[in-house]
Amino acid sequence: MNGYCWPRAGAGWGTKFIDPAGRSTLNTVALVKSANIVVVALVISSCAGAGNIVTAPGVSLSDVQVTELDFDNQTFLLGFDVTNPNAFPLPVTSVSYGVELDGQRFATGKTQGSFIVPANGDGDFAISVQLDLLKSSPRLLYTVRDAARGDVPYALKGSFAVGIPAAKPLHFESSGRIRVRARDR
């Protein structure tokens, strides 16, 4: 019966076992359970900071298309490029965004919907927005007209909610120049 330890009656956490030779030994089962608890505690504490281990993606406005143009309603399709610097895919569950064209608020909102940006890879997504440029801002109407003739500056701010437990929203911000174009037919 070498190598086996037998518990005394009523043995529990932190008790000693008596081996067949009658020697007292430390409760190895209790040590293993204690080690498992420490590991679980470390995993839980690291999950609490999961928002810190996920690097925010790079997001840029890649396209602004006029898809519908009426007197009191204009529909635009905003295209975005995403670069994921993480070694794991990003399961995006919603997007909050704000877009300015030439210093004018153009579109803001939050969309539900999911897509996955591949690990260390690129992806894209599009959002359709409806505006009434005559009611909202006549100056913005001229900005959109100018943007159809040439590039205008844009500013983008927003965040992604991701389907990673305990991860905080991933904020992004970019700026550049963009041209508003008519829908490809």
CATH number of 53-182: 2.60.40.1820
Q: What residues does each domain of the chain span?
A: 6-48, 53-182
> Using 50, 70 and 90 to split pLDDT, how confident is the model at 177?
very high
* Least confident segment among 51-55, 90-94, 174-178: 51-55
Instruction: List pLDDT tens digits, range 94-128.
Output: 999 999 999 989 999 999 989 999 999 999 999 99
CA 56 to chain centre: 7
> Using 50, 70 and 90 to split pLDDT, how confident is the model at 136?
confident
Q: pTM for this one?
A: 0.69
